[in-house]
């Protein structure tokens, strides 16, 4: 089952996986971007995969950067969603089922992130915004919103040398998170109790809502992301210990 799930995930994700490498050991610059009031927050003009411009609500509480089904159609990825992993997210007191993808690139102003964890779902529209700019993008930077000026600053986390535009803390935390997720779903697939707290959905809820096929695809998805991260870190010359 695990091998089949991994194969299905690879088919669904393979065309999305482009490894974009930045200059090694370089300092990143800060970017200032205009933002727009949207309902309870702000949105930012965002370019997905270098070709689709859309407004996304800035939401640091969302683990994923979420785009609509219409956006998926415009990006040419809608037909592949049937084989992408399903995942339940808590939203507005209920559950929204999303399909997990990897976005080739997400750009806000001059700040570009590659290989961003994304999800496809139709969320309530905030007067023209059709999705969420979540932690999978925002965590690449130290971001600050200036509400009176209607601007957002995206800056490096600190002044230390960066690999691929990201700090040691980011690389370590990302490796730990992806390894924990991969282990969680692999253990669930095998029927093993796992006490790891994933941060955004309680394990009990996952067990109640996810089928064995769903769990297998999710295990493959996060293992793929971890392998991708390790490959990129190696290509950039980041210390191996950061991946442990």
In a shared domain, residues 173 and 88: no
Whether 16 is covered by a domain: the verdict is no
C-beta of residue 113 within 8 angstroms of C-beta of residue 31: no
**CB-based burial, 77-107: b 16+ in 10 Å, e otherwise:** beebbebbbbbbbeeeeeeeebbbbbbbbbb
Does residue 20 lie within any of the structural domains? no
H/E element, 204: helix 203-209
Asked, for residue 21, whether it belongs to a domain, the answer is: no
C-alpha to C-alpha distances, 129 to 98, 193, 240, nearest whole angstrom? 18, 40, 40
* Full pLDDT tens readout for the chain, 244 residues: 444 444 333 333 433 333 333 333 344 578 899 999 987 889 999 999 999 999 999 999 899 999 999 999 999 988 888 889 999 887 767 788 899 999 999 999 999 999 999 999 988 766 677 899 999 999 998 899 999 999 999 987 776 677 888 888 899 999 999 999 999 898 888 876 554 444 444 455 555 578 888 989 999 999 999 999 999 999 999 999 999 8
Shared domain check, 47 and 77: yes
Domain ends where: 108, 132, 155? Answer: 155
SS3 156: coil
Shared-domain flag, residues 81 and 168: no
Which residues make Cβ contacts (< 8 Å) with residue 113, sequence separation at least 6? 105, 106, 107, 137, 140
- The answer to whether residue 198 is domain-embedded is yes
CB 85, CB 64: distance < 8 Å: no
Number of domains observed in the structure of the chain: 2
Is residue 29 within 8 A of residue 244, CB to CB? The reply is: no
Give yes or no: residues 34 and 148 share one domain.
Answer: yes
Q: Which of 47, 49, 64 is nearest to 16 (CA)?
A: 49
CB 115 within 8 A of CB 21: no
Q: Are residues 147 and 188 in the same domain?
A: no
Same domain, 131 and 203: no
**93 and 140 both lie in a single domain:** yes
Q: Domain span at residue 237?
A: 2-9+164-243
Residue 74, token pair as written in the block: 């415009």
Task: Indicate whether 15 belongs to any domain.
Answer: no
Report the CATH number at residue 57.
Answer: 2.40.70.10
Q: Indicate if 79 and 35 belong to the same structural domain.
A: yes
Tell me: do 36 and 138 sit in the same domain: yes
pTM for the whole thing?
A: 0.79
| Residue 117 · residue 225 · CB < 8 Å | yes
Identify the DSSP state of 40. T
Q: Is residue 14 part of a domain?
A: no
Do 234 and 209 lie in a common domain? yes
- Name the residue with tokens 């089949």: 4
Q: Are residues 129 and 169 in the same domain?
A: no
Q: 3-class SS at 177?
A: helix
Task: State which of 155, 180, 202 marks the end of a domain.
Answer: 155
Q: Are 196 and 239 in a shared domain?
A: yes
């Amino acid at each position: 089952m695990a091998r089949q799930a991994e194969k299905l995930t690879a088919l669904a994700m393979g065309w999305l996986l482009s490894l974009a490498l930045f200059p090694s050991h370089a300092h990143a610059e800060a970017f200032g971007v205009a933002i727009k009031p949207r309902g309870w927050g702000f949105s930012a003009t965002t370019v997905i995969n270098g070709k689709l411009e859309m407004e996304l609500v800035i939401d640091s509480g969302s683990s994923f950067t979420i785009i609509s089904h219409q956006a998926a159609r415009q990006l040419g990825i809608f037909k592949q969603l049937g084989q992408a992993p399903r995942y339940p997210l808590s939203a507005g007191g209920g559950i929204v089922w999303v399909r997990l993808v990897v976005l080739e690139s997400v750009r806000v102003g001059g700040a570009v992130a590659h290989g961003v964890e994304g999800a496809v779902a139709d969320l309530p529209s905030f007067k023209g915004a059709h999705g969420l700019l979540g932690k999978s993008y925002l965590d690449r930077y130290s971001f600050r919103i200036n509400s009176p000026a209607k601007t957002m600053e995206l800056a490096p986390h600190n002044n230390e040398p960066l690999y691929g535009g990201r700090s040691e803390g980011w690389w370590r935390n990302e490796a730990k998170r992806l390894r924990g997720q991969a282990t969680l779903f692999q253990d669930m697939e095998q029927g093993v109790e796992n006490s790891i707290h994933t941060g955004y959905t309680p394990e009990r809820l996952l067990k109640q809502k996810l089928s064995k096929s769903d769990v297998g695809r999710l295990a493959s998805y996060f293992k793929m992301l971890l392998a991708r991260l390790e490959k990129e870190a190696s290509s950039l010359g980041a210390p191996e210990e950061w991946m442990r």
